[in-house]
Amino acid sequence: MTLASERDEPRLSVGEVAKRADVAVSTLHFYETKGLIRSWRNAGNQRRYKKDVLRRIAVIKAGQKMGISLIEIKETLSTLPESRTPNKDDWARMSRFWQAQLDEKIAYMMRVREMVDGCIGCGCLSMKSCPMYNPEDIVAKEANGAVWLDHPEQAKVAKNCYDSQN
């Protein structure tokens, strides 16, 4: 008796995957060099993919929609089991992870929004004087030059923004 993993090894050619996933062949080559997807070779040295590569590509695309870099996406994908084809639960876990990432991004954008909102009243967006722009007083100097708006408190400050400059 053969193992399932051996029975249903590679099936899809690079062209088929490209068409079904709606990406260029060159993109698949590229993802492979970056370790995001994997392929096996047939006798003539042509790539053959397992079907779950399609879902990996879906995850890659979804991650990109969320503004996540390929390196981070690779890390996320690396949490999938290597010993077997990922199942529903594996993918569901990944979805939840993406969602958390997304929540953070959204929260960040909302903070930016509050800032801009607070700054409309005074028509500012100035440098030193406006906490939206340069809130050193709040952020202070953190080890690796922490940035703007990664600190929720700033949103409040923006409400009291008065400009002293052009």
Partner DNA sequence: CTAAAACCTCAACCAAGCTTTAGGTAAAGA
Partner DNA sequence: TCTTTACCTAAAGCTTGGTTGAGGTTTTAG
Residue 70 sits in the site that holds its own copies (CB under 8 A): no
Fill in the per-residue mask, 7 to 26: x = in contact with DNA (CB under 7 A), - = not in contact. Answer: ------xxxx-x----xxxx
Please report, for residues 6, 71, 82, 126, the alpha-carbon distance to residue 149 in angstroms, rounded to integers and kept in the order given. Answer: 51, 24, 38, 16
Q: Which is nearer to its own copies, 28 or 132 (CB)?
A: 132
| Backbone φ, ψ for residue 49 (5° rounding) | -115, 150
Contact between 64 and 73 under an 8 Å Cβ cutoff? The reply is: yes
Contact between 38 and 60 under an 8 Å Cβ cutoff? The reply is: no
Fill in the per-residue mask, 97 to 136: x = in contact with its own copies (CB under 8 A), - = not in contact. Answer: -xx--xx-xx--xx-xx--xx-xx-xxxxxxx-x-xxx--
Stretch that binds its own copies, among 30-38, 46-54, 68-76 (CB under 8 A): 46-54
Q: Which residues bind DNA (CB under 7 A)?
A: 13-16, 18, 23-27, 29-31, 39, 42-47, 60, 64, 69-71
Q: Which residues bind its own copies (CB under 8 A)?
A: 20-22, 51-52, 54-55, 57-59, 61-62, 65-67, 85-92, 94-96, 98-99, 102-103, 105-106, 109-110, 112-113, 116-117, 119-120, 122-128, 130, 132-134, 148-149, 163, 165-166
